[in-house]
Structure formats: structure tokens, C-alpha cells
Amino acid sequence: MSCSGFVGHAPAKHALALNAVEPRCGGVLFAGEKGSGKSTLGRAFRSILPAATPFVELPLNVTEDALLGSIAVEETLRAGRREFQAGLFSRAHGGVLFIDDIHLLAPEIVALVMEVHGRGENVVEREGMSLRHPSSFILVATLCPGEGEITPHLLDRFGMCAGLDRIEDAESRIEIIKSACGIRKTDQDRALADAIVEARTILPQVVVRDRMLEYVAELCLQYHVAGHRADLALLAAARAEAALHGKREVSREDIERVAPLVLMHRQRELQPMPPPSQNQEPPDEPDRKDPPPPQSDQEQFQDPPPEPDDHQRDENPPLPKELPPSAEEVFAVGQPFCMKRLFFRKDRLERAASGRRTSTRSRNRGGRYVKSVFRQSRDIAIDATLRAAAPFQKVRNRTDVVVINDDDFRYKRKERKMGHLVLFVVDGSGSMGAQKRMVAAKGAVQSLLIDCYQKRDLVAMIVFRKDHAEVVLEPTASVEHAARRLREIPVGGKTPLGAGLLEAYRLLERVGRKRPETRFLVVVITDGRANQTITDMAPEDEVAHISALLRERTGIDIMVVDTEEKGRFVTTDRAALLAAQLGADYHTIDDLKAETLTELVMEKREITIGQ
């Protein structure tokens, strides 16, 4: 199928034409459901490119050697010195690098692609080689948001983004069939290719006045984009748009036509103003001539409560209303949401593991071959061994076979994904009943459970309330069982935070002795207000002491999810202090919510420009 013969999705085709004219537009990402034509349109891009333009498609199982380049074994054997074999980056120079389903590509490979694409140069420092060569290409990629996400940072590296919906009307589907079967013939591709060649000759003459630069900056500020890539991509796209229309000067209309493609995936909501500090006084009430009438006769004769002085106000900030100590209530599970992607550091353990959470070194023959190493293992890296031996064949008097010494042997290091044991430590005290915090907390835990199911994690759950902590769910792979226990958690009583942390430490020790290779993730869901102890210490000292035990234990990652409602006049931020004591990552519930590409593309597509 040709590019101009592609039915519908005019913004996506517009983005390709702009990048063909000006590669500094930054490439384009197509996002949409299965069957929307993302891959077909990406491959059809070559039909409008000038003849002999390189078009390289990146396979999902690509290795670093294939991308960057490596030693050419045959040439090295023949010459007796290291000869470089160009990789895919070299082949894509001056053309297009197409990645289908970028969300399925290894993160390390994606990072390499983005680095070389941004720099326009490939730098190789490996296996005794030190060289660099230009590698400037148009990056085109596809993404199915329902199958995975990429980080906002990598998303920002794409100059443009276009959303593709599935075509539902019968007339358009008939046009697709005709185009795919070759029934429909058109010369539009040739005309568009000629227009692109003409626009490239005009492009160096296109000028941008200062007032248009000001308009570009105003648009980027208006949509709260981060960084300056949006400004540069918008300027490059506007110049390409002007050149496509045969103009030598960028107009306001040129900027407005390309702005949705550049700003759609970068647009961010304006962050709310931070709450006033405790030392600030609330704004004065407007003057009233007459006080409001009393609501009842009883209220009319009651004395007003004494106004606390400044010292009392600082010492005893008003707290949300909690459940009575003896009362219990079971709150519903709040609305789950799409979790943002969680990242954890790699360790150096070799495991016979499975899952989809974190990369780990593979102990068995399974996994992805990532590099060659000197350390002996069962898998010999034949390619790396030959590259190590090739430069020395002349001095070893090679005749018909390659002479390999013991020092030449290289071995494969493989990686595969592994799951974690995710331990939820949930605050079930009465303070979680204030403003129905437990509803939002259960919604956050439910969202994390869904993420655990997708990553094939084991889960366990501890609830602390009243005067003790209890393991309500032993480690299990059944996320459905965990969801049932979550719904049953009651709220009420005091907050024995130290007991919850100690019970988590005991469970980690018990499981760690049985399965030493287990990678743990402890998720503490609390507002951080401890008021009950299991020792003779003060609550704050007890929490600090047990936190030190958890912090010193290896093989665990810890997250603290703060359930306290932010934005109120007074907040305690005790959960942030707990995170610091644990050496943990700190999140509010809103922090865990991913601004998914689906929302960015499908809900923010209609960006109003110039109104």
C-alpha cells in the first residue's frame, strides 16, 4: 500500500511529510489500537521518500552489536588487524529507522536508539575499537498503548505524535480493501514525493520572524510542556510546513497547523498551587454588615469557642475527624487506575527466575544474550570469541582453521525478566477513616495488584491496627485472593505502625531463608501517624528503630504511599518522614497514576490553537 493511498488518518500522514522535508522535526510516534494501520503506514513511508533513501526496520530481537557495529571477522582474519563492521545505525544514516511496537523493545536498546538519534552520531568504544561515524536518521515508531507504555522522558524525545483509531465505517473499509488489492491506482505518491523534493530546496530560504518565535514560545508555555524540545520541534515543523506550501516565510497559520502534532503528547495539566504553610494566616473573610443568623435557638445562646493563641495553633494543628476508637467500618475499594511504570535497580545475582518486572542475570540457558564476558559459563559466545582471536591469526601461523587460545574464549551473559514478592503493609487504623482515606488507599492497592498480575509477581499482605499487626495474606500468586482480602479489611482503632513494619521484617526473613534469590518490594500504605507501640519506646523511636532494620536488609525495595489528603490548610507529612527513615521511595496516591499515552492521544487530540 502506498502512503497517499492509505485511507484516513490525515494528521499521521501530514507528520510523515513534514519529517521527510525536515528531519529535524524529530521523528514521529504512531499510537493506536491493534488494527488501526500504524505499521502499514510506517512501512508505506518509503513510497514518498526520494529514490535510494535508506529505510531500515529494527527487529525486536536486535542486539547491541547489530545496532552499534562490531568487528568484521572475515576481514579481520584476512588483514590481521581489527576491521569494523557497520551496524544498523550506519545503514540508517540519511534515511529512516522504523521501529514497530517500540514498547516491546528492550529498554536498553530504546535508550541507545534515542541517544544516537538525538546526537546524530554513533560512538563505538568496545573490544579495542574507538571510532565514531555520523548517524542522522528520521525515527518512526509505533506503539499500542494497551500493551505497554514508554516513559514520559522517551515520549518527549519524539518530535511528533499522532493517534490512530480503528476505522469503523464500511465505505472507508472498502477503500482499504481496494488499495490493498491494487485495484486503486494513483499518482499521488509521485506528486507528493516531487513536492517533498521541491520543499527541501526551498527550506534553507525559509525565514522566521521574531514575532513568530514569540508565538512558538507562547504556545509551549500555554500547554505547560517541559523542557525545550517542543519549541525546537515546533519551529522545525513550521518551517517544513511553509516549505511544503512554497513559502519563504513562516506564518502564524503554519505554526497552528503543525502545533497539535508537536504538543499533543507533551501537553501537561497545570499543577495546583501548593497549600499555604502553617505559618501563613488564612485570607481575611470579606466584610459583612450583619452577622449570619443563628441556625437554632440553642446555638443562639451558646458561647463561641475560645480562639486558640498562635502557640496552641502551632503545637496542635487541627486534624481530620477520625473514627471513634471502638468503632469499625469496612470501606469500599476506590476506583482503580492505570499505574505509572515502576523502575528498580538491577543486582548482580544470577537466578533461574520468571516474570515481567525487573531484568536479572539468567542462570540457565534461557534469556536474552546481552553481552560477552570473561567469566566462564556453559554458553560460549562464539561471535565474541572469534572477534577476540581474529586479529592474532597471522602471528599464530594460521593455515586452514582459526587458531583459538584459552585467553580468547568469551562467554554469554544472558538476562531475563523476573517477578518480585510484593508485600503490602496496609494501615487499618481509625485515622484511615478520615475523609474516607481508606477508599482511595484500597483503590491504590487494587491498582498495584493489577500491575502485579501483569508483571507475574507474588503478593502478600499485612494489616496493622489497634494494638497489633497481622499477616492477612501469605505469599501467593493469586491476585484474585488478594483482592478479596483487600475488600474485607476493616478500619478502626489506633495506629501500631511499628508493629506493621516489624511483621514485615519477620515475613521477609522467613521467606528469604527459604528462597534466598527472592527480590522483595515492600509497599507501605499509611498516613504515617503512629500512636500505639509494642515496646516501651515512644512511637516515633520505635518506628525509627524498626525502620533501620528494614533499611539495612539487602534485596528489598521499599515504597511509602502517603494516604494523607494534600492541599488542606494543615498537613503533617509524617509519611514523608517515614520514607526518609526507611530509605524508601515516597509517593502520594496521585503520584502513582500514570498519564498514559492513551489519554494523551485519545482525549487531548483536539488542541485548540489560535482561539
Q: Please report the beta strands in 321-467, taking only residues with DSSP state E, as ranges in sequence order.
A: 329-330, 350-351, 358-362, 368-373, 411-418, 421-427, 458-465
Catalytic residue among 229, 351, 410, 413: 229
Report which of 339, 429, 412 is spatially closest to residue 369, judged by C-alpha positions.
412
Q: Which residue has the cell 538491577?
A: 346
> Is residue 502 exposed (0-12), middle (13-18) or buried (19+ Cβ within 10 Å)?
buried
Element spanning 446, H or E: helix 437-455
Q: Please report the beta strands in 136-222, taking only residues with DSSP state E, as ranges in sequence order.
A: 138-143, 160-164
| Counts of helices then strands in the chain (DSSP H, E) | 22, 21
Does the annotation count 356 as an active-site position? no
3-state per-residue secondary structure call for 34-80:
CCCCHHHHHHHHHHHCCCCCCEEEECCCCCHHHHHEEECHHHHHHHC
Q: How far apart are CA 308 and CA 332, in angstroms?
A: 37
Residues in the chain: 611
Backbone CA torsion sign across 331, 333, 339, 343: positive
Q: How far apart are CA 151 and CA 148, in angstroms?
A: 10
Greatest Cα-to-Cα distance within the chain, rounded to the nearest angstrom:
112
Cell triple for 366: 534461557
Q: Which residue has the cell 485519545?
A: 602
In single-letter form, the type of residue at position 459 comes to V
Cβ neighbors of 392 (< 8 A, separation 6 or more) are 403, 405
Annotated active-site positions, please? 229
